[in-house]
Amino acid sequence: MELFNVVEMLQLAEKPLYWVGALTTVSLVLWLVYHILSGFRIWVLGNGDLLSPKLGKWAVVTGATDGIGKSYAEELAQRGFSMILISRSQEKLNDVAQSLESLYNVATKTVAVDFSQVDIYPKIEAALAGLEIGVLVNNVGISYPYPEFFLHIPDLDNFINTMINVNITSVCQMTRLVLPRMESRAKGVVLNISSASGMYPVPLLTVYSATKAFVDFFSRGLQAEYKSKGIIIQSVLPFFVATKMTKIRNPTLDKPTPERYVAAELTTVGLQEQTNGYFPHAVMGWVTTVLAPRCVVTFFALRMNKAQRGGYLRRRKLR
């Protein structure tokens, strides 16, 4: 009798379990198809002619004389934008401006300021006055000279102020200066260059990681506020790119040149509000935020940065 009851219960449960399994399978297939189609739309088809001077004649790039910032300036100039280049060195600004004018026959303006200072924004505002700005790239940023424990960072008080002024204040203030005219025209694009280090805490780069997390949250919050007004505000979170700041000399598939990274990233504008900008980086972002537990990512980041710190300190002693 007991065996009969068990068999009867299993028979009763068979049909509901079948439908649970079927619905689960269908859901997984639909999820997979959606993500494959979305990935094809983003990484293969791209956004077409979205980024063009139809948004506004001028594009502004901060940190425009090296690395990713210089590549953004070159790519946008190639698309026909007149360029406003903002960085610290007037000599480097002149070199980049002359190159863009020669190669792409576009107008340029330069503004030499030190983003570690907070009294620079009236000068920038005056330089931008009356210009129809279609794109703003908030790229300027600084990182640690080498990974270090918070209390062991040399000249910590000045380091904190400089990091916040360059990585956070610049993004807020430049957006404040440019956004009102974009809002009045109901079009414009703001690209805020954060970092994959802002996707999770990175020990021994803690202040840098935290400032880049701010840029990401700031961007996503503003996008929610201004999306309905025709403005795109995108958070860009690259992993390693072969630039002077990262000290990577030899590009690889997962560590692209700035030119390769920027060309890929610009195809995601309007398609992703938060992006790693480059397909291999998108895969790395998915692995480190979805598959891997946060504690595991933090553990390996700490381990890697301790090794880099030790190597840096040993080399400094040998000099």
Give catalytic residue positions: 208
Q: Cβ(84)–Cβ(127) under 8 Å?
A: yes
Measured at the CA of 91, the angle between CA 181 and CA 163, to 5 degrees, comes to: 60
What separation, in Å, do the N-terminal and C-terminal C-alpha atoms of the chain show? 86
CA torsion sign for 153, 154, 155, 158 is: negative
Q: How far is CA 169 from CA 73, 212, 247, in A?
A: 21, 12, 25
Residue burial 104-117, b: 16+ Cβ < 10 Å; e: rest: bebebbbbbbebbe
Q: How far is CA 96 from CA 124, 151, 240, 244, 258, in A?
A: 18, 38, 24, 16, 15
Quote the CA–CA distance of 199 and 94 in Å, as a whole number. 35
Nearest to 301 by CA among 288, 315, 283, 285: 288
Burial tier of 304 (Cβ tally within 10 Å: 0-12, 13-18, 19+): middle
Nearest to 240 by CA among 290, 291, 190, 205: 205
